[in-house]
Structure 1
Amino acid sequence: MSASRLVIFYALFAGLSILANIGFQKLSLIAYSGPFSVLFSVVVGTAVGLIVKFALDKIWIFRYRHRDLSHGIRSFLLYTVMGLATTAIFWGFEFGANAIYHSEPTRFTGGVIGLVIGYIVKYRLDKRFVFA
């Protein structure tokens, strides 16, 4: 895949993952509004975004095939570990925006900004350590 197509597809898939993440956060907030509802929604959104992004990256960006189920599980776990630092970036922006502005739209905006930065970093980590 050419570099320009790679950037376009990676950005498109990052956008889809961001939509899945923020969408499931919103659905979680609709379904549950009790104590720790924001934290719960962020965890749910993060999990959904992680699964969506892993599948898209594995198949379309890196064209990676697992040897067997255990190799696939190890790859997903390594992908998840690589995502810990980028999740810290994402959560930092989202919770930071929430702490400063105390509104859902700005919290989601902070989350999107954090996700964009995180996905740029994550591509480099995945290319080098997960899908090498």
Structure 2
Amino acid sequence: MTRPGPVALGLRYVGFAVLATAANLLAQEATVRIAPWAPLLVSVVMGTGIGFVAKYGLDKYFVFFDASASRREEARKIGLYGLFSVVTTLVFWVFEFGFFALWGTSTAKYTGAILGLAVGYAVKYGLDRRFVFTGRAP
């Protein structure tokens, strides 16, 4: 399989960020509908978890073309990826909770979530390329 050029790779990364964002928001909405008594925190945690799993798989195989040599190496990568995800998730949550605190609506919450995820993913790409998927990063 030929690797895409920088523009195509960038579009792929953005497309995967959109897919992971959609998975995150759909999981949040599903959680709100299933557990309406605790929609905010529970929905945010569920959405974040689903988004993490989706984004890791897409990044690993289709952006960075990574093939870990061992379970230990894979565990290290997941750990670093997770650490960077926590940092960028804090950015995401500041936007999401901040918009909700300012305007108090679901629309504001989701708008903040989308903006926070966009900023977080931009920062995360640089961190992952530099520190996580170092052997095969394009």
* Same topology, TM > 0.5: yes
**SS, match of residue 81 in structure 2:** helix
Letter in 2 for 1:16: L
For 1:57, the equivalent position in structure 2 comes to 59
Which of 85, 109, 112 is 2:111 aligned to?
109
* Shift of residue 72, structure 1, vs aligned partner: 1.7
* Shift of residue 71, structure 1, vs aligned partner: 2.1
TM (norm. structure 1) is 0.96
Q: Percent identity?
A: 36
**SS, match of residue 54 in structure 2:** helix
CA RMSD across the alignment: 0.9
Which of 117, 130, 133 is 1:131 aligned to?
133
Aligned length: 131
For 1:40, the equivalent position in structure 2 comes to 42
For 2:85, the equivalent position in structure 1 comes to 83
For 1:95, the equivalent position in structure 2 comes to 97
For 1:9, the equivalent position in structure 2 comes to 12
TM (norm. structure 2) is 0.92
Letter in 2 for 1:33: P
* Shift of residue 83, structure 1, vs aligned partner: 1.1
For 2:25, the equivalent position in structure 1 comes to 22
Q: Write the distance in 2 (CA, Å) between the matches of 1:66 and 1:44.
A: 27
Moved beyond 3 Å, runs of 4+: none
* Shift of residue 67, structure 1, vs aligned partner: 1.3
Deviation digits for residues 13-63 of structure 1 (CA, Å, limit 9, x no counterpart): 00000000000000010110224x301110110010011000000001000
Note the residue ranges of structure 1 that are not aligned, 5 or more in a row: none
Note the residue ranges of structure 2 that are not aligned, 5 or more in a row: none
Q: Write the distance in 1 (CA, Å) between the matches of 2:28 and 2:66.
A: 29
**SS, match of residue 11 in structure 1:** helix
